[in-house]
Structure 1
Amino acid sequence: MTIAETTAEPTAETTAVATDAGITKELALGKFTDKMLADMRALIGTELRTESCLNNEYATRLAVMRFCEGIGDDNPLYTDAAYANDGPHGTLVAPPSFIFACLGSVQVGWPGLGGFHAETKMTFGAPIRVGEKITANVVFDGFDGPIADSNFGGRRIKDYLRQEYRNEEGELKATFICSRMRFERGEMQARRESRAIEVPHPWKEAEIAAIEEQILAEKPRGATPRYWDDVQVGEEMDVITKGPLGLTDFIAFIAAGAAPIPRVAAHSVALKRYHKHPKWAFRDPRTHALEPVYSVHYNDYAAQLQGAQIAYDVGIQRTCWQIHSLTNWMGDAGQLLALTGQYRSHVYLGDVVRLGGRVEAKEVDAEGRHIVRLVTWATNQRGQQCMPGTAVVALPTRPAA
């Protein structure tokens, strides 16, 4: 099918109510209709335009460093040229999650509906080397539903975008299946109080001190190989911790180039875009400033209109943390081959998320790689499992005696 303009149908993160008077203080309260569902079925198989969503075309040294800062990963394999030159790749490489800094994702269709990132499935090729140019192709693969009802937000559907990232030689670096839940905002807002929790979390000083001590003790496996021969089924990964999450943590992710959809802009550039596409923005009643609907990730008012309690994290941001935990565990000589992750509860400002995993199996695959299969998790301070997942990692084997 022909390439579709992503701006033609504003969506969850790019939708607000517009009247004859212009942009309002509310988000759109769209409804599922037979026409909407028919229009979306007609788009299945469409390749989407990505120009307004691109952030980095090249994996430059500074782009990779900025991205690592935005996800809190100081692995020298990605940031220290002298260290990386002596490593298995002979040069700086980007973390597997860097693809999000090239193109986080694209939106299409579902005018007036809300949306949350629901699930991620990824496979990876060879690491991205510093200097490589990365191109993303995005195809709308369809949707399931609508499901008649759910306690979370009434009627909903789950849609699928397939994103493929290649270098200039056409080598596939990663495939990302992005699934989002679409819902009617009015229903989500009506159920918000039933999900009410105390936010931000009331941390005590001693608790914060202990959390920060744990974070400061974290370090990647690094140049010491984790040999497949030594890994035991049932052993657990080292835990990494993110939080208590602050506004700067959320904004640093944007500054890293990993979001949003479309890009955030300021002043006259933003104003011209919002006048051209009024449903991309709303007017904050406290500051009277225009804000993109993406600001649900750093603006409490917008998040509450979306049916959340306060500002919450980005789905792929959580996946970046998952990847950080995996690359820390596997060491420089390991290779991340695949992962999955389901986004279950919101991760709010002030939350702490601990990420870990457990070895479920080890085997030699059809390509002769010595792989380890893991179950992964991300839990918050309330004991909620906010991102159950899986991963497949290839590890080196011990040299023959």
Structure 2
Amino acid sequence: MTTMDTPRDARVGRELATGRFTDEMLAGMRALIGTELRTDACVNNEYATRLAILRFAEGIGDDNPLWSDEEYAAAGPYGEIVAPPSFIFACLGSVQFGWRGLGGFHAETDVTFHAPIRIGDKITARAFFDGFDGPTDSSFGGRRIQDYLRQEYWNQDGALVARFICSRMRFERTEMQKRRESRAIEIPHPWTEEELERIEDDILAEVPRGARPRSWDDVQIDDELDVLTKGPIGLTDEIAYIASGAAPIPRLSAHGVALRRYRKHPKWAFRDPSTHALEPVYSVHYNDYAAKLQGAQIAYDVGIQRSCWQLHSLTHWIGDAGMVKAIHGQYRSHVYLSDVVRLGGSVVGKEIDSDGDAVVHLRTWARNQRGQNVMPGTATVALPRRSEEPARG
């Protein structure tokens, strides 16, 4: 079939799709609850190679030598390079599934970690549709539902590495667009040179705890985590995250490969009015025009990108001998390009858990320069005890 013969509904338009909730759509999605989803088009990394781990760590701004320095890692608790726990998102960030024509934001993340990812591991990701709540009304974007994808990551030995519950908010784009002006803020943020210098000084002063074990015995309730700073968020930060293998759903592609996919799935893309190029819906994270069609002010960060920052904050604080066992995060407000996000938290509990691990429970936060907590969350980490060997794995 030639271009001129392409049916109108297979052409890509200049707007994002504008579907609506219907009884038929809701019934169809209910019938799919429990389905295992195809992941082939969304897998970015199968193997935790040295370069894949390095590319991902650099893509989230994490320079812990445990992820990249072979000599350093050989002397550490694993005896070799391991991947940061967030590397699972570079294997499979999420899956494009259902809700034809509706917009979406990543709403919440729940992850439990069960085994480290060692260099050379092969990770197999599986995804399941666990259902949805709603529709309900909201002032943020009108009618919405919240759905739940369960993603499991298994290594070559059949061991569960991590389980990720990806919760997304789905909404009607036309309603979200109507409310955009009510959320208007000054963007890009008007930083002064003095403010930027202080931000960069803070970033350069950050040092991971690394090989110095943080003992469970020494941690006290109300202890504060080190503060980690990200930003001002720029276009290259988002490109680096994509290049690391994280997030795109489905994988981003170019030229004829992309065009054939868009002809098959025209709602995956739109035509940019400035360049006349076809762009994926995912470009809301680096294309202001797409972001405005989604009801945002300008381009904004990726939901699970914030969870990667949260995990960076945790591994930075616990040191090489610690282990992150679980995280939870809620995504509130957009983090726009030009924003600065500072991440931290405090200790709210400690115990010996049912696995026999000495764990610390944390309340975590991520605040932007406007004082908004854009990712309230919790975490559980295991720490060595003074009477134990620090090695894990």
Distance across 2 between alignment mates of 1:366 and 1:269: 50
1:303: which partner in 2? 291
1:376: which partner in 2? 364
Distance across 1 between alignment mates of 2:9 and 2:207: 56
- 1:267 Cα deviation after fit: 1.2
2:329: which partner in 1? 341
Secondary structure of 2:37's counterpart equals coil
1:248: which partner in 2? 236
Aligned equivalent of 2:208, options 189, 204, 220: 220
Matched, 1:161 2:149: yes
- 1:368 Cα deviation after fit: 1.4
- 1:21 Cα deviation after fit: 7.7
Aligned equivalent of 2:269, options 281, 287, 300: 281
What is the aligned residue count? 382
Aligned equivalent of 1:230, options 214, 218, 233: 218
Matched, 1:27 2:16: yes
TM-score (norm 2): 0.96
1:37-76 → structure 2 map (5 Å cutoff): 37-76=26-65
Opposite residue 285 of structure 1, the aligned amino acid is: P
1:260: which partner in 2? 248
Displaced runs of 4 or more, over 6 A = none
Matched, 1:313 2:313: no
1:142: which partner in 2? 131
Distance across 2 between alignment mates of 1:159 and 1:20: 27
2:391: which partner in 1? none
2:195: which partner in 1? 207
- 1:399 Cα deviation after fit: 2.5
Distance across 2 between alignment mates of 1:275 and 1:183: 24
**Contact in 1 for aligned 2:10/2:266 (Cα 8 Å):** no
Aligned equivalent of 1:102, options 66, 81, 91: 91
- 1:19 Cα deviation after fit: 4.0
**Contact in 1 for aligned 2:247/2:304 (Cα 8 Å):** no
Matched, 1:175 2:163: yes
1:352: which partner in 2? 340
Opposite residue 186 of structure 1, the aligned amino acid is: T
- 1:59 Cα deviation after fit: 0.2
Distance across 1 between alignment mates of 2:231 and 2:355: 39
Distance across 2 between alignment mates of 1:20 and 1:327: 48
2:4: which partner in 1? none
2:82: which partner in 1? 93
Opposite residue 94 of structure 1, the aligned amino acid is: A
Opposite residue 252 of structure 1, the aligned amino acid is: A
Distance across 2 between alignment mates of 1:30 and 1:277: 15
- 1:199 Cα deviation after fit: 0.6
Structure 2 residue ranges without an equivalent (≥5): 1-6, 389-393
**RMSD over aligned Cα atoms:** 1.0
1:113: which partner in 2? 102
Opposite residue 139 of structure 1, the aligned amino acid is: F
**1:11-32, CA deviations, whole angstroms, 9 ceiling, x for partnerless residues?**
xxxxxxx944821101111110
**1:194-252, CA deviations, whole angstroms, 9 ceiling, x for partnerless residues?**
00001110000000000000000001100000000000100100000000010000110
Secondary structure of 1:169's counterpart equals coil
1:3: which partner in 2? none
Structure 1 residue ranges without an equivalent (≥5): 1-17
Distance across 2 between alignment mates of 1:21 and 1:37: 24
TM-score (norm 1): 0.94
Secondary structure of 1:209's counterpart equals helix
Aligned equivalent of 1:77, options 35, 46, 66: 66
Return closer, same or farther for 1:20/1:44 CA change in 2, 3 Å cut-off. Answer: closer
Matched, 1:330 2:318: yes
2:181: which partner in 1? 193
Distance across 1 between alignment mates of 2:366 and 2:110: 16
Distance across 2 between alignment mates of 1:292 and 1:36: 23
**Contact in 1 for aligned 2:10/2:265 (Cα 8 Å):** no
**Contact in 1 for aligned 2:362/2:380 (Cα 8 Å):** yes
1:15: which partner in 2? none
